[in-house]
Structure formats: C-alpha cells, structure tokens
Amino acid sequence: MYYEENKTQADIAKYFAISRPMVSKLLAEARELGIVTIRITEATSFHQIMEEQLREKYGLRCARVVPMESDEDRTDKSVVAAAWKLVEEKMNGSGCLGIGWGSLIGRVADHLEGREQQSESGGERGLSGVICPLIGNAAASYRSYHPNELVRILSGRTGLSPVYIYGPAIAESEAEKKIYENTDSYCQIRQLWRRLDVALINISNYPSSPDMATALRFGSRLSERKAAGHMLSYFYDREGRFIPEDSDRILRISREDLASAGSVTALCAGGVKAVAAAASVTYTHPSLDKDQGPSSLPDSWHARPEQARGGDRGKRDGALRRRRQSRGCGRGAGYRPDHRSDIERDAGRRAAEGGIPAALTGRHRGK
C-alpha cells in the first residue's frame, strides 16, 4: 500500500487500526528482510533507459541515444560522434565500410577532421580495408549528397582504400541505368556491397531537400501513402512499409544487399519524425509482388516477415517462412518467430506524434 498504491502511513494505520509507529516499523522490517528493495537511477543514465527501450521495442541489436544539446548544431555533432564510435566498434580495425548520403553523413568528415586536429601526434588508430559509396552522386550542390567526395575525404582520414561509383544517383531512364550497371567499375562495387562489414546510412523526414525527383519516380504515391521518411532514397510510409516506384532509375545498393551487411548503423537527429517508422521499416521479398507480398525488416533491424494476419495474407506468410527454412537462408533473410505484431501500429503512431527526439543508431540482434 505504501510503495505501490502511494498510501500515507496515516492512511495505512487507519485502515489496519494500528499506530503510525507500527506502520513505520513494519516498512523498515520489510526492507531489512528484502521484501522491499529500493534502487536509485541516476539522471545521467536516462538515455541508457531509452536505449534499452528502443532495443526491446524494435528488436535492435544496439541503440545509442544522445541527449539534446543547447542548439541543433551541437546535437548533430553529438549524434555523429556516437555513430562513428559505433562504426569503429563494428569495424574492429578492418573491413569493408559503405557510406550513404545525407546531412549527418556529411558531418562525419567534419568530425574526423576535428579529431585529427586534437591529435597532432597521429595518435588516432587508423582503419584498414575498403570504403565505398552506397549510392550514386546527386545533382545537388550539397557535399552531403556526393558520396564519392565523402568517400575520398573519409579515406584520407581513416586509412581505408577508396572505391568509387561512376554514375549519377538518378539515371535518365531505366535503359541508361542498365548501361551503368554493366560497366566493370559498377560490377566491382556491387561485389563490395555484397560483403559489407558496416553500412552507415542517414534517416531523413519526408518531404526534405533535395527532392530526388520524387514526382518523376512516384507521381502522387508518396502523399497518398503518407510517406514518413527515406534512407538511400528508399521511401517508406508511417507503418514502415516501402513505397514502390513507377520506375527504378536509382544507382544504389539493393535492399537485399543492405540486409546482408554485417552491421548497419542508421543515424538521425532531433526533430526527425521518421525514426519510429524506420525502426519498423519492411523489405519486400524479391520473389513476390511489391505491393502485396509479405515483408521483412532490413539488416539493421534484421530481415523478418510480418506476422500473418489471417486469410490469403497469412497463407503467403506461411509459404514464405517454409521456403526460407527449406533454403537455409543466410544473413538478413531469417525468419524470427518472436516478432511482435504491435510494432507496425506503434511505429505509425509514434511517427505521427513526432517520432523519437534523439539519435538512433544500431542493427538488429538477430544474427
């Protein structure tokens, strides 16, 4: 009554017709016997509580929540620092790193430059391996949307060998895209995408700038489907389902290759409403129709199909699980029976309410 119902000692004494000193004595005895235990949570660990909640709710392998700073610029710096630290932990000194695009990805270069200035003696431990872009270059003036340039800068500051993608993010047509895809350089980078150790991507709201020719690619579908956000120019709705394009002209890593990466770190800053939806983002199985087939989460949240909801949808889900199990699917394609059916609904609600006012980085713990 005292600890759980917030009754006063006077209320309890009156209820049991005993004295208040007796109530106090009984409460003290309960603590001595271990019936009641008291734990004090430090204020500085609040972000750790949020991280645990994110991991449990969305099935993430790890999450980093960065407290809001006095202004947006400082908050972004904290987000980038936390994300890059996680990247270094996952790389473990060597490997293949893939870089996406976005405002915060562009600030990673500034962060590394600042670290170099703090360590003039060259004390920073370098990385070994390869770094490559995950998408072509945008026809925009922002450095953050020129992955080749980011790869060049990060290569010089990490020790990773650069490999570039020679082509625009958005081709003039599907035929032009196929021409790029048949070049030797593109084939080389696709091989790298299939053995990524770490992928670093940016979560952004919809709408955002630059627009990425959304009218040409989607028509009015993004507004009709209530798009919540995008990453690597893959747009998804408030429930985390990807929205199909009229024609795919983008030179970028496929969703399947992204799902098979060793680790995916997704980062965003305060004010981004698309985080909750991104945490429940779903990938359509390649053998099924984009609009109707059962879906699965990307590697940063590990691929797994939605719960069957009865009828034909349930039959398709069951068939998909049986096919995956019979094939012995590898990374990023495994079925996880512990998926909670309320994730999509909660993600949509949280996105509509403004998302999570913090930074989110991590991948699913499934592998």
Q: Are 13 and 23 in contact (CB under 8 A)?
A: yes
Which of the four pLDDT bands, split at 50, 70 and 90, describes residue 138?
A: confident
According to DSSP, the β-strands at 283-284 and 295-296 are: antiparallel
Measure the CA–CA gap between 32 and 293, rounded to whole angstroms: 58
Q: Which has the higher per-residue pLDDT, 41 or 189?
A: 189
Measure the CA–CA gap between 236 and 222, rounded to whole angstroms: 8
Task: Tell me the sheet residues that pair with 167.
Answer: none
Measure the CA–CA gap between 164 and 148, rounded to whole angstroms: 6
The amino acid occupying position 23 is V
Rounded to an integer, the average pLDDT of 54-78 is 84
Summarised one tens digit per residue, pLDDT across range 112-123 is: 877 754 444 443
Q: Is the pLDDT of residue 331 over 70?
A: no
Q: Is the pLDDT of residue 173 over 70?
A: yes
Give the whole-number percent of the chain exceeding pLDDT 70: 69
Give the whole-number percent of the chain exceeding pLDDT 90: 33
pLDDT at 183: 92
Task: Tell me the sheet residues that pair with 230.
Answer: 204, 235
Q: Is the pLDDT of residue 148 over 90?
A: yes
Q: Is the pLDDT of residue 178 over 80?
A: yes
Closest by CA position to 83, among listed 327, 281, 356, 361: 361
Q: What DSSP element (H or E) covers 47?
A: helix 46-58
pLDDT at 48: 83
Measure the CA–CA gap between 91 and 95, rounded to whole angstroms: 6
Give CA separation, 47 vs 301, 318, 362, in Å.
Answer: 20, 38, 15
Assigned token pair, 77: 């710096």
**Listed range (196-205, 238-247, 354-363) with the worst mean pLDDT:** 354-363
Measure the CA–CA gap between 106 and 193, rounded to whole angstroms: 20
Longest dimension (CA), the chain: 88
Assigned token pair, 110: 């500034």
Rounded to an integer, the average pLDDT of 245-269 is 89
Summarised one tens digit per residue, pLDDT across range 65-74 is: 888 888 888 8
Measure the CA–CA gap between 55 and 241, rounded to whole angstroms: 20
In the numeric block, the tokens 């119902």 are attached to 5
Count the helix, strand and coil residues of the chain and give each as a percent rounded to the nearest 5.
Answer: 45, 15, 45
Assigned token pair, 271: 């004010």
Measure the CA–CA gap between 297 and 332, rounded to whole angstroms: 8
Name the burial class of residue 120, with classes exposed (0-12), middle (13-18) and buried (19+) by CB atoms within 10 angstroms of its CB. Answer: exposed
Summarised one tens digit per residue, pLDDT across range 7-48 is: 999 999 999 999 999 999 999 999 999 999 888 766 557 788
pLDDT at 216: 86
Q: Tell me the three state secondary structure of residue 190.
A: helix
Q: Find the length of the chain.
A: 367
**Listed range (28-42, 114-128, 171-185, 348-362) with the worst mean pLDDT:** 348-362
pLDDT at 339: 36
Averaged pLDDT of the chain: 74
User: How much is the pTM?
Assistant: 0.64
Which of the four pLDDT bands, split at 50, 70 and 90, describes residue 352?
A: very low
Other C-beta atoms closer than 10 Å to the C-beta of 207 total 12
pLDDT at 65: 84
Rounded to an integer, the average pLDDT of 97-102 is 93
Give the long-range contacts of residues 306-313, CB within 8 A, separation 24 or more.
Answer: 306/282, 306/339, 306/341, 306/344, 307/339, 307/340, 307/341, 309/341
Measure the CA–CA gap between 307 and 210, rounded to whole angstroms: 35
